[in-house]
Structure 1
Amino acid sequence: MSSPTPIIVWCHPRSVSSAFERAFMQRPDTRSYHEPLSMPFYYGEKRPCHRYDDDACKATSEGTLKSVLAETESGVEENVTVGQHEKTACRYIFIKDMAQYVFSAGALRSLHPDSTVYKPNDKQAAIAFNDPLENPTILPIDLLRRFKHTFLMRTPKKSVPSYWKCVQDGAAGFAYFDAAEAGYVELKLLYDWMANPKSTFHTAEETNDAHLIPGQVQAQPMPPPLVDASDLLARPDDVVARYCAAIGVPFDDGMLSWESGTVNAFNSWQGYHTAAQNSTGFKRETPVDPSAEQAETFLNGSSRISDHAFSPSSANLDSYNYLYAFRSIKTA
């Protein structure tokens, strides 16, 4: 039997990605991994994000980005999640993770010099992105080539206020909002590198250690499948089917609905996945022109979302609008 095909959907926070992930959780032939790179990103010894103090990090088990991603690719852990069917032999591995998790501390500091969570470090100098053809991540190209790469995004006019509300509600144990964590610029950098056939992702020769990496080099769908949440929620049946076709996975209409209930894989980030756990399918929305959208507002006691919280929506619109023009799976 051939090895399972590993697929990653790269996204940013509050992008409807957990609902998208639930669709793949329903497949009996698929094992899902929910944000496995978050552990080394937030808790690792060399963590680039300092949301949590040293004591919290020491009490949490984690690996390195490289070891965690290699483990998911090889299927060492079969993260069997809630679904409507018994699991069969694993043909596909589906990973949902945030693009910013694969950037170094120096890169994140360079991109977000005013951040409170991406702190300066004498040992990790700021990194400038001068060549879009070069690998912007800290992961080796040989490892990244073992996965099929896809992308999902949502307008910052909805995602950033949604993230702000989660923070105000105390989700994941922290209560201050940092605009740097919106994740759009990192998603754009990663997409640009992987979408360019002249970049080192496609052209670099294998290293001498490539044979030590488990799995097989994957044929990359080009351009990389890029889904906008507005299209997904307008026509989930059409968009999920076309996404499956783009990555070579047979569509199963059982992916469009699921049972409401606890998803064990979501337990690491309590509060962020309440809606996804309580849902029974995609919440349909009428597609809108992103240039005409108004920001969502959320009540927090008696105060509405602050200007500080909304400002990154405008700041991230350039990256979002750039990517929006490249979305490859659209509503009819």
Structure 2
Amino acid sequence: MTVRLAVWSGPRNISTALMRAWENRPDTIVVDEPLYAHYLHVTGLDHPGREEVIAAGETDWRVVVDRLLGPVPPGVAVFYQKHMTHHLLSGIDRDWIGKLTNVLLIRDPREVVASYVRSRATVTPDDIGLPQQVRLYEELAASGEPPPVIDAGDFLRNPEGYLRALCAMVGVEFTDRMLSWPPGPRDSDGVWAPYWYAAVWRSTGFEPYRERTVTLAGAAAEVAEACRPHYERLHAVRLRV
């Protein structure tokens, strides 16, 4: 029985590093932001590499969902799905999400915004994904068990503890292979990787947690402040190990 582990994050989090950890398992396959092409196609947003992403991806969300729920190769215990919550546009039916094993990955919005504006000139609360994460949390909680919420800062203070908790949740044995990986790109990386994944390509494991001094001004500061209540809502129910 294959577990379809969907980790729902916003941008500029540790989501790609977490995908690396799971991909380093021999019993796991991964998919990188499968709804991104649909998101860019529908919204018309000008992200770095926009045309490449659309050309390389699938713009019909129904086809994407069929693949996410479809067959996997023999011997695969975990189908790890790295998702961005802001990719869940209003036109996408959401019933299929309940068929996945879902986890929310959050990060302090000031840190997210500070990182985000280094790659894009503008940012809005919806770009950060926290409002959408709260909506998804409430929907999943209303239909059954609320999904675990992991804060990136907590995770980086104790990667092994959180990985062990996730492994226990999906019913697989933890392995030390999840704590380190070879540097460089992967075939599984989205075509947008050259614009966003420089730090992950240099990495060989999770970066130790460190306090960050973040200075924001103007619209960036307003966006971070607007996202603060959503972050606090999820931070209050986060998983602690």
TM over 0.5: yes
Q: Give SS of 1:271's match.
A: helix
Partner of 1:60: 55
Q: 1:159-189 CA deviation, whole Å, 9 max, x = no partner?
A: 111001122xxxxxxxx31323111101111
Distance 1:282 1:16 in 2: 8
Deviation at 1:310, TM superposition (A): 2.5
Deviation at 1:253, TM superposition (A): 1.6
Paired amino acid for 1:193: E
Q: Give SS of 1:265's match.
A: coil
Instruction: Note if contact 2:27-2:78 (Cα within 8 Å) is conserved in structure 1.
Output: yes
Task: Say whether 1:139 aligns with 2:93.
Answer: yes
Task: Say whether 1:312 aligns with 2:223.
Answer: yes
How has the CA–CA distance of structure 1 residues 295 and 65 changed in structure 2, closer, same or farther, with 3 Å as cutoff? farther
How has the CA–CA distance of structure 1 residues 306 and 92 changed in structure 2, closer, same or farther, with 3 Å as cutoff? same
Q: 201, 216, 227: which is aligned to 2:150? A: 227
Report matched runs for 1:142-181 at 5 Å: 143-167=96-120, 176-179=121-124, 180-181=126-127
Paired amino acid for 1:153: I
Partner of 1:273: 197
Instruction: Note if contact 1:100-1:186 (Cα within 8 Å) is conserved in structure 2.
Output: yes
Q: Give SS of 1:13's match.
A: coil
Partner of 1:282: 206
Task: Say whether 1:104 aligns with 2:90.
Answer: yes
Q: 1:258-291 CA deviation, whole Å, 9 max, x = no partner?
A: 11111233241122111111101001115x7xxx
Paired amino acid for 1:161: A
State the identity as a percent: 28
How has the CA–CA distance of structure 1 residues 56 and 17 changed in structure 2, closer, same or farther, with 3 Å as cutoff? closer
Task: Say whether 1:22 aligns with 2:8.
Answer: no
Distance 1:59 1:322 in 2: 34
Deviation at 1:7, TM superposition (A): 1.1
Please state which structure has a larger fraction of its residues in helix. Answer: 2
Deviation at 1:238, TM superposition (A): 0.7
Gaps of 5+ in 2: none
Structural RMSD (CA): 2.4
What TM-score do you get using the length of structure 1 for normalisation? 0.65
Instruction: Note if contact 1:154-1:230 (Cα within 8 Å) is conserved in structure 2.
Output: yes
Greater RCO, 1 or 2 (C-alpha within 8 Å, sep 6+): 2
Distance 1:70 1:42 in 2: 19
Distance 2:89 2:53 in 1: 22
Distance 1:42 1:249 in 2: 35
Q: Give SS of 2:4's match.
A: strand
Q: 1:283-309 CA deviation, whole Å, 9 max, x = no partner?
A: 1115x7xxxxx7524xxxxxxx54222
Paired amino acid for 1:285: Y
Distance 1:319 1:181 in 2: 13
How has the CA–CA distance of structure 1 residues 245 and 58 changed in structure 2, closer, same or farther, with 3 Å as cutoff? closer
Q: Give SS of 1:96's match.
A: strand
Partner of 1:10: 8
Deviation at 1:154, TM superposition (A): 0.5
What TM-score do you get using the length of structure 2 for normalisation? 0.88
Q: 1:122-145 CA deviation, whole Å, 9 max, x = no partner?
A: xxxxxxxxxxxxxxxx2241x223
Instruction: Note if contact 1:161-1:295 (Cα within 8 Å) is conserved in structure 2.
Output: no
Partner of 2:186: 263
Q: 52, 66, 72: which is aligned to 1:70? A: 66
Partner of 1:33: 31
Deviation at 1:93, TM superposition (A): 0.3
Paired amino acid for 1:12: G
Deviation at 1:248, TM superposition (A): 2.3
Distance 2:51 2:59 in 1: 15
Gaps of 5+ in 1: 79-87, 106-137, 168-175, 203-221, 289-293, 298-304
Q: Which has the larger radius of gyration?
A: 1
Distance 1:155 1:63 in 2: 30
Deviation at 1:250, TM superposition (A): 2.0
Task: Say whether 1:185 aligns with 2:138.
Answer: no
Report matched runs for 1:110-125 at 5 Å: none
Q: Give SS of 2:102's match.
A: strand
Q: 1:210-233 CA deviation, whole Å, 9 max, x = no partner?
A: xxxxxxxxxxxx331210001110
Deviation at 1:246, TM superposition (A): 2.0
